[in-house]
C-alpha cells in the first residue's frame, strides 16, 4: 500500500525513511525504480539510491540515462565513484567511464582495483560501433575437463559476476574458444559427463572489429542469448548479450529514420525532449540548406523555359503535382531497396534484377497516373490561358507523357541511388530521401519542359 503511494508520487521518496526506501527498491524491477527516481531533482537521486544494498544500488544506477549518470558521478567523491563502478556491469561501467570528463577519469582510475582498471582499458580500446565496443567481460567460462556437476558448481560461483550463466564458454589454455554449453544442456546431462563430451563444438562467434549491427542481426537470426567475441589471437574477450543486441537494432532503426529525413547528429534513442532547440537546429539545418541550394537548380530550369511557361500557363499548374509524384514514387523504391539492403536480402550486385523489377512496377504506375493526368487536363483544363489554335488534346498528351516518364525515371533513380551508395560503402539511407526528392524534382522539370517544348512549343 505504502509503495503504491510512492509509485504514484515519487517525490514522497525524499522524505521517506531508510526502511521504507529499502522496501520500495526491492518491490519492483530496477528499471522501473530507475525510471521513477530519474524524474526527481539531480541532487536528490544519489542520497536516495544510497539506501539500497550495494549491488542493487549499482543496478538502479546503471538503468539511469548516461547523461544523468555523468552528472551524479560528478558530485561524488572519487572513492564512492570507484565503489559504485566496481558493482556496475563491465559494459555499462566502461560506457560511463568513457563519458566522464578527463579530470574525473584520472581521479577515479587509481581508486579502482587492478582488475576493473584493466577491464576498462580493454573494453574502451575498441572503436565505437564495433562488437568490441558493445561487448561485456562478465561472461562465464568452463574448462573442458570438468564434469557436468563440477561445471554447475562453478557456474553457481561465478553467477553474481556474470551477465548470464545460461550460456558458458569452454576455453583452452590460450583462452581459445573450444565450445559452448547451455545451462539447459548441463541440467539435462548426466552428472558425471565431461564438458568436452557434451559441448557444442561449432560455436557461432563475432570478431572484435565486426560491425555492431551485424552482431545484433546474428543474435536475432539464430535466437541466441549471447554471442562470444574473439580477438585477433582467437581468444575469447567478451560476449554481446541479447538485450544489448535489441538496443543496437532499435538505435540503428532510429538512425535510419533520421537519415531518411536528412537529420544529422548522434541519432540517440529517446532524445527529443532532452535535445535543446539549438541542438535540434544544428542537427537539421545542414541537409535543409544544402537541398534548398540544390533546389535552386530547378529554378534555372524554369527560367530557361520561361518563354514557354508564359505562353502556356497551364504548364505551371501541373508542376507541383509532377514534382510530388516523382518524389513519392522515388521514395517508395528507395525505401524498399534500403530496407532490403539492410536486411541483407539483396546486395549491390543485384542491380539489374532490381532495376528490371522496378521498371515494370514503374511502368504500371506510369500508365495509371498518365491516364488520370490526361483526364484531368483534357476534361477540366479548359480554363487556362493559351495561344489560339492549340488543342487541349495535345497539351493533355504532353503532360501525361511527361508524368509517366517522370514516374519511371524517379523510380529507377530511387532504386539506383541506394545501390550506388552501398557499392561505394556509403550508407544507403543517407542518399535515399530527401536528397532524392530534390534530385527527381530537377530531372522531372527537365523532362516536363523538354517534352512540352517538343510536343507543343513548336510555335
User: How many Å apart are CA 237 and CA 70, to the nearest integer?
Assistant: 27
Residue number, 209 or 268, with CB nearest to a copy of itself:
268
**Which residue of 39, 47, 110, 320 would you call a contact of a copy of itself, by CB under 8 A?**
320
CA-to-CA distance for 439 and 258, rounded, in angstroms? 19
Q: Work out which of 113, 115, 188, 424 binds a copy of itself, going by CB under 8 A.
A: 188
DSSP-assigned states of every residue in 333-386: HHHHHHHHHHTTS--GGGHHHHHHHHHHHHHHHHHHHHHHHHHHHHHH-TTS--
Strand order from edge to edge, sheet including 226-230: 206-207, 226-230, 236-241
Q: Is 174 in the site for a copy of itself (CB under 8 A)?
A: no
166 near 111, Cβ under 8 Å? no
Question: In the complex with a copy of itself, which residue's Cβ is closer, 115 or 368?
Answer: 368
Binding region for a copy of itself (CB under 8 A) out of 7-15, 170-178, 265-273, 416-424: 265-273
291 lies in the binding site for a copy of itself (CB under 8 A): yes
Shorter beta-carbon distance to a copy of itself: residue 200 or 394 = 200
Instruction: Among 22, 384, 453, 455, indicate the residue that binds a copy of itself (CB under 8 A).
Output: 384
Task: Give the residue among 206, 120, 212 at the shortest CA–CA distance from 169.
Answer: 206
Could you tell me which of 394, 396, 357 has the C-alpha nearest to residue 374? 396
Which of 110/387 has CB closer to a copy of itself? 387
Among 343, 389, 425, 458, interactor with a copy of itself by CB under 8 A: 343
Closer to a copy of itself by Cβ: residue 82 or 346: 346
- Please, what is the minimum distance in Å from the beta carbon of residue 74 to a copy of itself? 25
Give yes or no for residue 309 binding a copy of itself (CB under 8 A): yes
CA separation for the pair 327, 433 (Å, rounded)? 9
Cis amide prior to 434 (ω within 30 degrees): yes
Task: State the number of binding residues for a copy of itself (CB under 8 A).
Answer: 110
Interatomic CA distance for residues 248 and 411, integer angstroms: 31
Please state the closest distance from residue 36 (CB atom) to a copy of itself, in A. 13
With respect to a copy of itself, which residue has the nearer C-beta, 137 or 433? 433
Q: Kindly state the smallest distance separating residue 220's Cβ from a copy of itself, in Å.
A: 5
For the bound state, the minimum distance from the C-beta of residue 237 to a copy of itself, rounded and expressed in Å, comes to 22
Q: Does 269 bind a copy of itself (CB under 8 A)?
A: yes
Question: Cα–Cα distance between 219 and 216 in angstroms, integer?
Answer: 5
Residue 64 or 155 with smaller CB distance to a copy of itself: 155
Among 40-48, 92-100, 230-238, 295-303, which window interacts with a copy of itself (CB under 8 A)?
A: 295-303
> Could you tell me the CA-to-CA distances from 178 to 142, 156, 204, 228 in Å, in that order?
10, 21, 11, 12
Instruction: Please tell me whether residue 177 binds a copy of itself under the rule CB under 8 A.
Output: no
CB-side exposure of 436: number of CA atoms within 13 Å?
Answer: 34
- Grid coordinates given for 13: 521518496
Measure the N-to-C terminal CA separation of the chain; round to a whole number of Å. Answer: 87
What is the enclosing helix (H) or strand (E) of 241? strand 236-241
- Indicate whether 106 belongs to the interface with a copy of itself (CB under 8 A): no
Among 298, 397, 400, 443, interactor with a copy of itself by CB under 8 A: 298
From CA 92, how far away is CA 85, in angstroms rounded? 9
Would you give the binding string for a copy of itself spanning residues 346-365, x where CB under 8 A is met?
x------x---x--xx--xx
CB of 233 to a copy of itself, least distance (A): 24
Judged by beta carbon, residue 131 or residue 219, the one nearer a copy of itself is 219
Is 406 one of the binding residues for a copy of itself (CB under 8 A)?
Answer: no
168: nearest Cα among 196, 141, 202: 141
Only one of the segments 6-14, 90-98, 113-121, 434-442 lies at the binding site for a copy of itself (rule: CB under 8 A); that segment is 434-442
CA distances from 43 to 40, 68, 69 (A): 8, 10, 12
Pick the piece of the chain touching a copy of itself (CB under 8 A) from 7-15, 71-79, 191-199, 249-257. Answer: 249-257
3-state helix, strand, coil in the chain (%, to 5): 65, 10, 25
Q: How far is the CB of 321 from a copy of itself (least distance, A)?
A: 4
Q: Report 189-248 residues binding a copy of itself (CB under 8 A).
A: 202, 204, 219-223, 225, 242-243, 245-247
Q: What gap in Å lies between CA 313 and CA 334, rounded to an integer?
A: 33
Amino acid at each position: 500500500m505504502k509503495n503504491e503511494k510512492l509509485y504514484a508520487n515519487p517525490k514522497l521518496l525524499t522524505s521517506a525513511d531508510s526502511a521504507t526506501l529499502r522496501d520500495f527498491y526491492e518491490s519492483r524491477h530496477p528499471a522501473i525504480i530507475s525510471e521513477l527516481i530519474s524524474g526527481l531533482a539531480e541532487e536528490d537521486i544519489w542520497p536516495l539510491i544510497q539506501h539500497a544494498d550495494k549491488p542493487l544500488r549499482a543496478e538502479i544506477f546503471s538503468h539511469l540515462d548516461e547523461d544523468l549518470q555523468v552528472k551524479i558521478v560528478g558530485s561524488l567523491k572519487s572513492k564512492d565513484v570507484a565503489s559504485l563502478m566496481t558493482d556496475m556491469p563491465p559494459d555499462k561501467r566502461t560506457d560511463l567511464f568513457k563519458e566522464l570528463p578527463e579530470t574525473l577519469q584520472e581521479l577515479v582510475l587509481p581508486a579502482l582495483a587492478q582488475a576493473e582498471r584493466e577491464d576498462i582499458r580493454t573494453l574502451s580500446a575498441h572503436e565505437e560501433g564495433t562488437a568490441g565496443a558493445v561487448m561485456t567481460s562478465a561472461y562465464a567460462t568452463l574448462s573442458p575437463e570438468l564434469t557436468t556437476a563440477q561445471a554447475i558448481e562453478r557456474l553457481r560461483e561465478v553467477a553474481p559476476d556474470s551477465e548470464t550463466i545460461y550460456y558458458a564458454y569452454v576455453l583452452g589454455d590460450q583462452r581459445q574458444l573450444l565450445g559452448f554449453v547451455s545451462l539447459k544442456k548441463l541440467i539435462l546431462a548426466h552428472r558425471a559427463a565431461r564438458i568436452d563430451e557434451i559441448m557444442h563444438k561449432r560455436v557461432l562467434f563475432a570478431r572484435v572489429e565486426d560491425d555492431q549491427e551485424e552482431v545484433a542481426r546474428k543474435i536475432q537470426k539464430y535466437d541466441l542469448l549471447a554471442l562470444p567475441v574473439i580477438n585477433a589471437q582467437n581468444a575469447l574477450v567478451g560476449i554481446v548479450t541479447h538485450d544489448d543486441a535489441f538496443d543496437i537494432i532499435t538505435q540503428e532503426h532510429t538512425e535510419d529514420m533520421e537519415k531518411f529525413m536528412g537529420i544529422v547528429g548522434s541519432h540517440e534513442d529517446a532524445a527529443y525532449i532532452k535535445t535543446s532547440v539549438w541542438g535540434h537546429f544544428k542537427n537539421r539545418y545542414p541537409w535543409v540548406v544544402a537541398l534548398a541550394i540544390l533546389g535552386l537548380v530547378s529554378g534555372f530550369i524554369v527560367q530557361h523555359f520561361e518563354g514557354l511557361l508564359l505562353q502556356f500557363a497551364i504548364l505551371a499548374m501541373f508542376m507541383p503535382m509532377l514534382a510530388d509524384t516523382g518524389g513519392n514514387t522515388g521514395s517508395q523504391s528507395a525505401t524498399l531497396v534500403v530496407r532490403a539492403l539492410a536486411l541483407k536480402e539483396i546486395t549491390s550486385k543485384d542491380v539489374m534484377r532490381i532495376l528490371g523489377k522496378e521498371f515494370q512496377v514503374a511502368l504500371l504506375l506510369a500508365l495509371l497516373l498518365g491516364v488520370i493526368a490526361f483526364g484531368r487536363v483534357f476534361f477540366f483544363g479548359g480554363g487556362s490561358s493559351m495561344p489560339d489554335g492549340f488543342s487541349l488534346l495535345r497539351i493533355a498528351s504532353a503532360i501525361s507523357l511527361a508524368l509517366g516518364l517522370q514516374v519511371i525515371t524517379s523510380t529507377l533513380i530511387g532504386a539506383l541511388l541506394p545501390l550506388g551508395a552501398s557499392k561505394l560503402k556509403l550508407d544507403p539511407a543517407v542518399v535515399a530521401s530527401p536528397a532524392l526528392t530534390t534530385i527527381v524534382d530537377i530531372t522531372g522539370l527537365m523532362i516536363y519542359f523538354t517534352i512540352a517544348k517538343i510536343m507543343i512549343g513548336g510555335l
